[in-house]
């Protein structure tokens, strides 16, 4: 179903059951998987591949050139998975380097006016609220939740299942499973509810809580915090992921300024 006012390049690869709404424009090197709905006035261009059963709302712009002075028109890619809701006026730009990739996984909700810059990597089951923007080379791990108007510095990493409060300024890597907020941003606790919903047992939740407390409230540097976590905390899969995330932080550093991280233990955790 292609609306008569839509402009679809004859070389574009359009899957079965794709709907393309009025005044949308689909470029030559675009692939759209079956069952995806492209609503009105959407532009999809560049070397862009979109998976199955996505819903792309009015005014979204996907695969256009990055906002980067170094980009000179070379081939660069956008890849989007399946079952995403990409709401009104979302922008997802192609990578800035030749054969580079901007990636958005599956089962994500990108609310209106979200910006995903060049070379970003967004995982699966991520929720990004209205007007949040990520600069180039940002990584957002699975199941993270970003509040509205969050601003993320380039090369920053957002850990799995973390929650970021609205209007926060993010200029350091955010540890997985944490709740952070503010400008400057601070760790305020653990995303226990999200961890429970994802089937992470209480033993691991409390182990992660201890590790985050060591990271955020003992006045240790990062190397000392990692050594202490390895020595004092049971190495559940979630703690192992947290430690590897911390050890992988380089350019931006890891957020380890916190208050209120020693949340009471108990069944509610």
> Residue 269 — pLDDT band, cuts 50, 70, 90?
low
| The residue count for the chain | 269
Taking the C-alpha atoms of residue 13 and residue 251, their distance in angstroms, rounded to an integer, is 39
pLDDT in tens, 65-119: 999 999 999 999 999 999 999 999 999 999 999 999 999 999 999 999 999 999 9
202-217 and 222-232 helices, crossing angle to 10°: 150
CB 232 within 8 A of CB 200: no
According to DSSP, the β-strands at 185-190 and 178-182 are antiparallel
Look at residue 265 and tell me whether its pLDDT is greater than 80.
no
How does pLDDT run across 192-237, given as a tens digit for each residue?
Answer: 999 999 999 999 999 999 999 998 877 788 899 999 999 999 999 9
Provide the β-strand partners of residue 189: 179
Q: What is the pTM of this model?
A: 0.94
Report whether pLDDT(240) > 50. Answer: yes
- The confidence band for 252, taking pLDDT boundaries of 50, 70 and 90, is confident
Query: pLDDT at position 260, please?
Result: 45
Domain ranges of the chain: 7-191
DSSP H stretches of helix in 91-169: none
Question: Tell me, what's the pLDDT at 221?
Answer: 86
- Given pLDDT bands bounded at 50, 70 and 90, which one contains residue 264? very low
Mean pLDDT of the region 141-168: 97
Give the pLDDT confidence score for residue 109 in this predicted structure: 98
Name residues whose C-beta falls within 8 Å of residue 80's C-beta, 6 or more positions apart in sequence.
Answer: 48, 49, 50, 51, 54, 62, 86, 92, 103, 104
- Which residue intervals of the chain are DSSP H helices? 192-197, 202-217, 222-232, 237-247
Mean per-residue pLDDT, 145-172: 97
Which helix (DSSP H) or strand (DSSP E) does residue 254 occupy?
A: none
Separation of CA 101 from chain center: 14
Tell me whether the omega of the peptide bond preceding residue 184 falls within 30 degrees of 0, making it cis.
yes
Residue 239 has φ and ψ, to the nearest 5°, of -65, -40
At the topology level of CATH, where does 7-191 sit? UDP N-Acetylglucosamine Acyltransferase; domain 1 (2.160.10)
pLDDT given for residue 268 in this prediction: 56
The sheet carrying 101-104 orders its strands as 13-14, 31-32, 47-50, 77-80, 101-104, 121-122, 139-140, 157-158
Residues 30, 43: contact at Cβ < 8 Å? no
Q: Taking 90 as the threshold, does the pLDDT of residue 34 lie above it?
A: yes
Spatial CB neighbours of 223, under 8 Å, sequence gap ≥ 6: none
Percent of the chain at pLDDT above 90?
A: 87
**Per-residue pLDDT for 162 more than 90?**
yes
Cβ neighbours of residue 28 closer than 8 Å, sequence gap 6 or more: 9, 11, 12
């Amino acid at each position: 179903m292609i609306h008569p006012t839509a402009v679809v390049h004859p070389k574009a690869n359009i899957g079965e059951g794709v709907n393309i709404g009025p005044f949308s424009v689909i470029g030559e090197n675009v692939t759209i998987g079956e069952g995806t709905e492209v609503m009105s006035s959407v532009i999809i261009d560049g070397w862009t591949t979109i998976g199955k059963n996505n819903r792309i709302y009015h005014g979204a712009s996907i695969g256009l050139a990055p906002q980067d002075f170094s980009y000179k028109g070379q081939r660069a890619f956008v890849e989007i998975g399946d079952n995403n809701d990409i709401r009104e006026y979302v922008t997802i730009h192609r990578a800035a380097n030749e054969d580079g990739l901007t990636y958005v996984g599956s089962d994500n909700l990108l609310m209106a006016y979200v910006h995903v810059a060049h070379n970003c990597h967004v995982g699966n089951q991520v929720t990004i609220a209205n007007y949040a923007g990520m600069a180039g080379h940002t990584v957002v791990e699975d199941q993270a939740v970003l509040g509205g108007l969050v601003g993320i510095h380039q090369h920053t990493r957002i850990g799995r299942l973390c929650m970021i409060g609205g209007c926060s300024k993010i200029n350091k890597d955010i540890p997985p499973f944490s709740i952070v907020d503010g400008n400057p941003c601070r760790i305020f606790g653990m995303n226990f509810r999200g961890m429970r919903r994802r089937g992470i047992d209480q033993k691991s939740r409390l182990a992660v809580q201890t590790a985050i407390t060591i990271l955020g409230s003992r006045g240790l540097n990062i190397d000392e915090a990692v050594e202490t976590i390895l020595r004092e905390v049971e190495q559940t899969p979630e703690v192992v992921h947290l430690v590897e995330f911390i050890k992988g932080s380089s350019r931006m550093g890891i957020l380890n300024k916190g208050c209120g991280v020693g949340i009471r233990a108990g069944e509610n955790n």
